[in-house]
Amino acid sequence: MADPAITGLVLAGGLARRMGGLDKSLQPLRGRPLLAWVVERLQPQVHTVVLNSHRLPAGAGGLDLPVWPDSLPDHPGPLAGLLTGLQRMDTDWLLTVPCDVPLLPADLASRLMQAARQAGADVAIATAPDAQGWRRHPVFCLAHRRVLASLAEALERGERQVDRWALRQQAAQARFPDAGAFRNLNTLQDLATLEASPDLSTGTPS
C-alpha cells in the first residue's frame, strides 16, 4: 500500500560512463525502458514518484512524471539528488532509488520505514546478504525532511558518499534477504545478461 508520507525519487542523473554515455534509464529490458521497471516497483509504495535528472525530459520513457534536476551544479552525485528531493518534496519522508535496479523490493518503503521508526532514526538504508555478511546499499535511502540542513552542510564541505553521510546520521539499516533485488545494471553486458535470465521477474510486485 502506498505511504502518503513518502515521496519516491528515482535517481537518473548519472553520466553512465560505463554505458558509453547512453542514458541508462532509457535502455530497453524486454521491450520496456529500465526506468519503467523501476517506477512500476516503486509507485505502489509511495505517495508520488519524481525523477531526478539533468537531461531527461518530462514524459521520459513514456511515463507522465515530473523531473527535478539537481539544485547544485556539476552533477555531484546521488547526495545532490537527495538534497533536491528534500528541498522540493511536500511529504515528510523521501525515498531514493537508482534508475538501474529493475527488480527492487516491492516492500522497500515499508521495511525502511519500520527500521527508521524502531530505531528513532531520521535516515534508513537497505542492506542485503553477500559473501562477507550484510552489504549496505545506501542509495536505497529513506530520509526525513529534518536532515535537510545537515545534508546541505555536508555537500558544502565536499561530501559525496551517501554511505558516509548516512552513517553519520546514525542511519537505521533494514535487512532484505534477496540480494538479487538490488542487482544494478552498469553496462550493456549487465543488461544483456539480465535480459537472457530465465527467471527474470515480470516486474510486477508480488
Q: Let me know how long the chain is.
A: 206
Does the structure show a pLDDT above 60 at 205?
no
Annotated binding site for Mg(2+), which residues? 100
d(CA 30, CA 192): 10
pLDDT tens digits along 92-141: 999 999 999 999 999 999 999 999 999 999 999 999 999 889 999 999 99
d(CA 34, CA 40): 10
Bridge-based pairing of strands 172-175 and 123-130 is: parallel
Does the structure show a pLDDT above 80 at 20?
no
Superfamily the domain 3-195 falls into: Spore Coat Polysaccharide Biosynthesis Protein SpsA; Chain A (3.90.550.10)
Annotated binding site for GTP, which residues? 11-13, 24, 52, 70, 100
d(CA 206, CA 203): 9
Element holding 9 (H helix, E strand): strand 3-11
Question: How is residue 24 written as a grid cell?
Answer: 541508462
12: β partners: none
Annotated binding site, which residues? 11-13, 24, 52, 70, 100
Question: How is residue 145 written as a grid cell?
Answer: 525532511
Q: How confident is the model at residue 189 (pLDDT cuts 50, 70, 90)?
A: confident
Domain ranges for the chain, please list them: 3-195
Ranges assigned E (strand) in 37-183: 46-52, 93-98, 123-130, 133-144, 172-175
Mean pLDDT of 65-71: 92
